[in-house]
Amino acid sequence: MKTGRFIGVGLGPGDPDLMTVRAARLIGQAKVIAYPSLPGTESFAHQIAAPYISDNTHEIVLEIPMTTARGPAQAAYDFGAARIAEALDLGEDVVMLCEGDPFFYGSFMYLHARLAEHYSIDVVPGVTSVSAAAARAQLPLVARNEAFSVIPAPLPDDTIRKRMEASDSFAILKVGRHLGRIRALLVSLGLADRAHYVERATLENERILPLPEAPDPAPYFSLILVTKGADPWLKTQS
Amino acid sequence: MKTGRFIGVGLGPGDPDLMTVRAARLIGQAKVIAYPSLPGTESFAHQIAAPYISDNTHEIVLEIPMTTARGPAQAAYDFGAARIAEALDLGEDVVMLCEGDPFFYGSFMYLHARLAEHYSIDVVPGVTSVSAAAARAQLPLVARNEAFSVIPAPLPDDTIRKRMEASDSFAILKVGRHLGRIRALLVSLGLADRAHYVERATLENERILPLPEAPDPAPYFSLILVTKGADPWLKTQS
């Protein structure tokens, strides 16, 4: 029997209207979808995709524990990959719902690593939370030959500071309980007044705040955007 | 009279199927669209959006000369902004077609800078060429606490080298005639075999090649993706 395709579909930042035309169509036509979920909570990926999911679609829920210990998450991905492989072996395509973009900090990557050797895989890129936050905050990110960085907040201060210094613009992701530390770093570099805090971009309870007003700790789905200075080309000569 | 809204709409990387549901709808409903074009060539933005543009939509073509001299491009953006303002003053919304994501190296930023003070602006984020290239090359970009950089190839060697060293993964944009120089830098850092060349991602004439086989000079719509090493979490324990 011909095995099915495993299709990682980027859902974009949260507003269902911001997934791609292809993503919406693939989800609507899917007989089998898979998605990650924290045990005991509603899946954010499923929430975004819900308006497009057909009745009678079979759902494979991958319960992934939120932990920094490697064993439990590894085991969950192994188990999830095996369940997806079962459906693929039956000849069914499996559409995996991925928040944002599948290859940009997504759990899809862990399943891709486990299934790519034996199955055909497609990846549909999505709008990242970084692009969405910039759009909502109306903050041009990079122009011409400016360099951009994406920096996870849990990294050590020294690493973060060097990357902040080396970039024209940057996004700090996974802010959460690191907000105070990141704020202190930005203040020490004289960048605090160039920083914008964006929480749940494009969702109903979105908040966009100047850095001093940001909540500490911040929720998980929050990021900080910093643009060091407008490229002079952005301005008119007149 | 109430002035219209200026709406910057990200079109994604090139395949019309990869624009967002909202972008497709806004373009289809637009009475007035605007888009950049190199003088004498077909507009890439218009090409991407074509399947969604309605008959009788009024089109404002912004002819932007491809030049590193500031004067002519500045003047073209001033002139384009004035034409868009005219339509907005007549109460019409104007949908501006933006390749990729509007705030990620897009010409929309120059119009935003000229119009934001006096008009209501909306920005619809789009899938970047970076996400699209990673999806097509099936290359997971960043996981967990990895840092990512976007580095324009025209920057000086020293600047590029430092940014390459400081990142776990990175994309080199605007490769073009800089391909040989970028390749030499990657070889000197021992990263050449981790580099993937992606040309016109998601378009019909897309090419994905190992770096040694990349054409020199490369076309403008090409980029290089480098991931230094898979996060060990990507692998199964068994």
Is a pLDDT exceeding 60 seen at residue A113?
Answer: yes
pLDDT band at B34 (very low <50, low <70, confident <90, very high): very high
Q: Do B149 and A147 touch (CB under 8 A)?
A: yes
Interface membership of A167 toward B (CB under 8 Å): yes
A97-107 pLDDT tens trace: 999 999 999 89
Where does chain A hold its CATH 3.30.950.10 domain(s)? 130-234
B179-209 burial, b if ≥16 CB within 10 A, otherwise e?
bebbbebbeeeebbebbbbbbbbbbeebbbe
Work out the average pLDDT over B191-211. 95
Q: Do A163 and B147 touch (CB under 8 A)?
A: yes
Interface membership of B230 toward A (CB under 8 Å): yes
Which residues of chain B from 24 to 63 reach within 8 Å of chain A, CB to CB?
24-25
Work out the average pLDDT over A142-163. 95
- pLDDT at B221 (0 to 100): 81
Q: Which fold has domain B5-127?
A: Cobalt-precorrin-4 Transmethylase; domain 1 (3.40.1010)
- pLDDT at A216 (0 to 100): 93
The region of weakest confidence among A115-124, B178-187, B226-235 is: B226-235
Interface membership of A19 toward B (CB under 8 Å): yes
Of the candidates B128, B131, B147, the beta carbon closest to that of A152 is on B147
Task: For chain B, give the mean pLDDT.
Answer: 93
Closest CA to B191 of B143, B226, B148: B226
- pLDDT at A229 (0 to 100): 72
Q: What single-letter amino acid sits at A185?
A: L
Work out the average pLDDT over B132-142. 96
Interface A:B, Cβ pairs < 8 A: 216
Is a pLDDT exceeding 60 seen at residue B230?
Answer: no
Q: Do A78 and B236 touch (CB under 8 A)?
A: yes
B65-119 pLDDT tens trace: 877 677 888 899 999 999 999 999 999 999 999 999 999 998 999 999 999 999 9
Closest CA to B164 of A231, A101, A163, A128: A163
A59-89 pLDDT tens trace: 999 998 877 677 888 899 999 999 999 999 9
- pLDDT at B118 (0 to 100): 96
Helix (H, G, I), strand (E, B) or coil at A227: strand
Where does chain B hold its CATH 3.40.1010.10 domain(s)? 5-127
> CA of B147, closest CA in chain A: separation in Å?
5
Nearest CA in chain B to A78: B236
Interface membership of A170 toward B (CB under 8 Å): no
Q: What single-letter amino acid sits at A19?
A: M
A159 contact residues in B (CB cutoff 8 A): 147
For residue B4 the two structure tokens come to 């219209």
Q: What is the percentage of chain A residues whose pLDDT exceeds 70?
A: 96
Closest CA to B97 of B211, B11, B191: B11
For residue A30 the two structure tokens come to 């899917």
Is a pLDDT exceeding 90 seen at residue B210?
Answer: yes
**Per 3-state DSSP, what percentage of chain A is helix, strand, and coil (rounded to 5)?**
40, 25, 40
Reported CATH class of domain A6-127 = alpha beta
Is a pLDDT exceeding 50 seen at residue B138?
Answer: yes
More confident residue, A230 or A85: A85
Q: Do A144 and B13 touch (CB under 8 A)?
A: no
More confident residue, A130 or B143: A130
Q: Do B163 and A144 touch (CB under 8 A)?
A: no
Kindly report the number of other CB atoms within 10 A of residue B162's CB atom.
16
Q: Most A CBs within 10 Å: which of B9, B19, B21, B108, as the mutation test of the A interface?
A: B21
pLDDT band at A111 (very low <50, low <70, confident <90, very high): very high
pLDDT band at B235 (very low <50, low <70, confident <90, very high): low
Q: Do B144 and A105 touch (CB under 8 A)?
A: yes
Kindly report the number of other CB atoms within 10 A of residue B148's CB atom.
24
Phi, psi for A43 (deg, rounded to 5)? -70, 125
Nearest CA in chain A to B175: A145
Which residues of chain A from 125 to 144 reach within 8 Å of chain B, CB to CB?
125-128, 131-132, 134-136, 138-144
Domain A130-234 falls under CATH 3.40.1170.20: no
Interface membership of B118 toward A (CB under 8 Å): no
A15 contact residues in B (CB cutoff 8 A): 22
Give B108's contacts (C-beta < 8 A, 6+ positions apart): B8, B96, B98, B102, B123
Is a pLDDT exceeding 80 seen at residue A167?
Answer: yes
